[in-house]
A and B are shown apart, each in its own frame.
Chain A
Amino acid sequence: MEADLEELPSIEKLRWQCRRGMLELDLILKQFLENNYNQLNYNEKELFCELLSQNDQDLQQWLMNKTSPADSRFLEIIDLINRH
């Protein structure tokens, strides 16, 4: 488990990945990172990191409850973010 965890980007790096082109995303992602990220299990953390590599326009649609992602793997992490 230890070895696995080391593969994830550092929280500092993720903090910068949460800097986006839209204020709405800045707020949603940063708040989730600071308040909830550490409590996630490894898979959820990995999904969050992957989610951050998606484009802003899609993230906005998903995180503000308008549409569901075509890639259903993201449903769970989006749901987690939306609930916080």
Chain B
Amino acid sequence: MALAKRRFDTLILGAGGAGLRAALQLSNADARVAVVSKVFPTRSHTVAAQGGVNAALANVVPDNWHWHMFDTVKGSDYLGDQDAIEFMCREAPKIVYELEHFGVPFSRLDTGHIYQRAFGGQSQNFGGAQAARTCAAADRTGHAILHSLYQQNIRSKTHFFDEFFALDLITDDEGAVLGALVLEIETGEPLLIEAKTTLIASGGCGQLFRTTTNAHINTGDGMAMVLRAGVPLEDMEFFQFHPTGIAGKGMLITEGARGEGGYLINKDGERFMERYAPNAKDLASRDVVSRAISTEVREGRGCGPDGDHVMLRLDHLGSDIVAKRLPGIRDTCKTFLHIDPVDTPIPVFPTAHYVMGGIPTDRHGRVVMPARHGPEEVVSGLYAAGECACVSVHGGNRLGGNSLLDILVFGRAAGEDIIGFLKENPNHRPINESSVDKAMARLKRWDQKGEGESVKEVRDDLKKVMENHCGVFRVEDVMAEGVNELVKIRERMANVRLSDTSRVFNTARIEALELENLVDIGMATMKSALVRQESRGAHSRMDFTERDDKNWLKHTLYFLEDDRIDFKPVRTKPLSVDSFPPKARVY
């Protein structure tokens, strides 16, 4: 059967906050937009964001975008690009008011203004008193944003391909992107979508790690597609871990548990945080607690039959306090562990939460890479926005509430830039058959029958390798060994077979394709972490414990070809204000 084809002005891969915000901008400008999503749009991971979105509205305490900018640069451990950060913080109020206009029911103050809550890392006056910058729609901010944007897109006639899985970008010999090959999950049939511009908005890749807060859909597909198209990934060594996820499962046990007096113990019942942080103890900062837990486990003091976690005790607090102040945690424990934290300790381990790295873009959402004329040349026709992109506004570490802001600001900015591009490039470029053939071959490979390993076996091993060799505890020889392990996993991939090679709703085939993506992203992460010989933001090395601005104030770029690493400078010059020079990051 001939390959089915469709044509659009713009193809958007992903229907989370980033993809939907971009789509809306384009549909409202009368561009023909297709949005492809592997799950129904409102089941995108953005729905899980309950905390809120940052904007310096100054509704509760004095605030302005410049203070927000300072906090973001500092939070990034000075690795964020200051032009993009200035742009994001200045756009933030507009973005929030737009959301309000789209129907997001933000919580309000008695005055009628949008309520704002205080989050860690927010300050007034460049590092002064606590600011309150996070706007929330009760505890369903992500849900409200996603549903409002979806409704707006339906009204604007955006074309949705729901439950279609994007396989590969189609490129021509000059490297311009011509669209993508996608797969209809229900029928198992491929479809070629030609587009003048393609925006990747496929979200994060937390499924790389055994313990993660991310939903199963977060397998970094768009990032891996970009790697296969010859474009590098930026700063992949920066992955934010939360110290207390439920061991082996990943869901968050919020910091509130320790804030209320909960504490961690190892298998000997020792309150080990006293050794790592004699003053702050269990309330030390996230990275300190994460590393302490990891060290206890590595040194054989972990709990459980496999010694692979520690325990969080709340049982001394009394049922009143737990029921009143920590009801969410109690629900989570009862549902997933069938225990009540009122009388039983909770098994916990650091859980992978957010990827700061991703597809390198400028502040217009255009994908950029080193080429003939410099380190940031535009890849024609290709855009990226959201968690899959690295603008970079989060640098070495993301602040709470800045991710929803990032996806909306740069989703919108990408939409705007695409409108200009479409005016200047009104025609489709001719399709490149050899690129289509290559993408088809990768899909057909999963029709191979016979004996082999299962997807699950290899995936479980990959996640374990990532957790053990490239988790919160990073050191040269352990990561070098991790690279070797990943090489072996890559080799094993050739022998993986599906027991079911049918077409219709073959979710096993989708999982195989996702695993292929994860393996490449795993290598990008491990290689980048190995090369960066310093500790900065979320990347902490036991063998290089200090930040090293002289040698490492630069972005890492990983290329799939030969697993090559390159670097590019950090953009330290903002758009209109003075640079914030690197300072020690103390809170």
Contact = CB atoms under 8 A, between A and B. Distances in A.
A63 interface: yes
A24 B140 contact: no
Contacts of A64: 331-332, 335
A39 interface: no
A23 interface: yes
Contacts of B48: 21-23, 56
Contact of A26 (B46, B186, B216): B216
Interface string A1-22: 0000000001011011001111
B154 interface: no
Contacts of B215: 19-23, 25-26
B505 A13 contact: yes
Interface of B: 38-39, 42-48, 140, 143, 146-147, 163, 185-186, 212-217, 249-251, 331-332, 334-336, 504-507, 510
10 contacts: A12-B505, A16-B185, A19-B39, A19-B215, A19-B217, A21-B46, A22-B45, A23-B249, A27-B336, A65-B331
A57 interface: yes
Interface in A50-78: 55-57, 63-66
Given A22-B215, A27-B249, A56 B505 contact: no
Contacts of A21: 39, 42-48, 146, 215, 217
A26 B215 CA distance: 7
A11 to B, nearest CB: 9
Contacts of B214: 23
Contact of A65 (B38, B335, B506): B335
Contacts of A56: 42-43, 47-48, 143
A6 to B, nearest CB: 15
B43 A57 contact: no
A56 B142 CA distance: 11
B250 A63 contact: no
A56 B49 CA distance: 12
A16 B507 contact: yes
B43 A12 contact: no
A54 to B, nearest CB: 11
Contacts of B217: 19-21
Contacts of A66: 331
Contacts of A13: 186, 505
Nearest to A25: B215
A28 interface: yes
A62 B504 CA distance: 31
Contacts of A20: 39, 43, 47, 215, 217
Nearest to A61: B140
Contacts of B44: 21
B103 to A, nearest CB: 15
A32 to B, nearest CB: 12
Interface centre among A15, A22, A65, by most chain B C-beta atoms within 10 angstroms, is A22
Nearest to B216: A26
A1 B228 CA distance: 50
A41 B45 CA distance: 32
A15 B249 CA distance: 19
B332 A15 contact: no
A28 B147 contact: no
Contacts of A24: 251, 332, 335-336
Contacts of A57: 47, 140, 143
Contacts of A55: 42, 47, 143, 147
B507 A12 contact: yes
Nearest to A9: B505
A13 B147 CA distance: 23
B203 to A, nearest CB: 10
A23 to B, nearest CB: 5
Given A23-B214, A55-B143, A55-B147, A28 B42 contact: no
In the A-B complex, the 8 residue pairs with the smallest Cβ-Cβ separation, listed nearest first, are: A21-B47, A12-B505, A57-B143, A22-B48, A26-B216, A64-B331, A21-B43, A56-B47
A16 B39 CA distance: 8
Contacts of B38: 19
A64 to B, nearest CB: 5
A22 B504 contact: no
Contacts of A63: 335
Contact of B251 (A12, A16, A19, A23): A23
Contacts of A27: 249, 336
Given A12-B507, A15-B507, A16-B185, A23 B216 contact: yes
Interface centre among B185, B216, B510, by most chain A C-beta atoms within 10 angstroms, is B216
A13 to B, nearest CB: 5
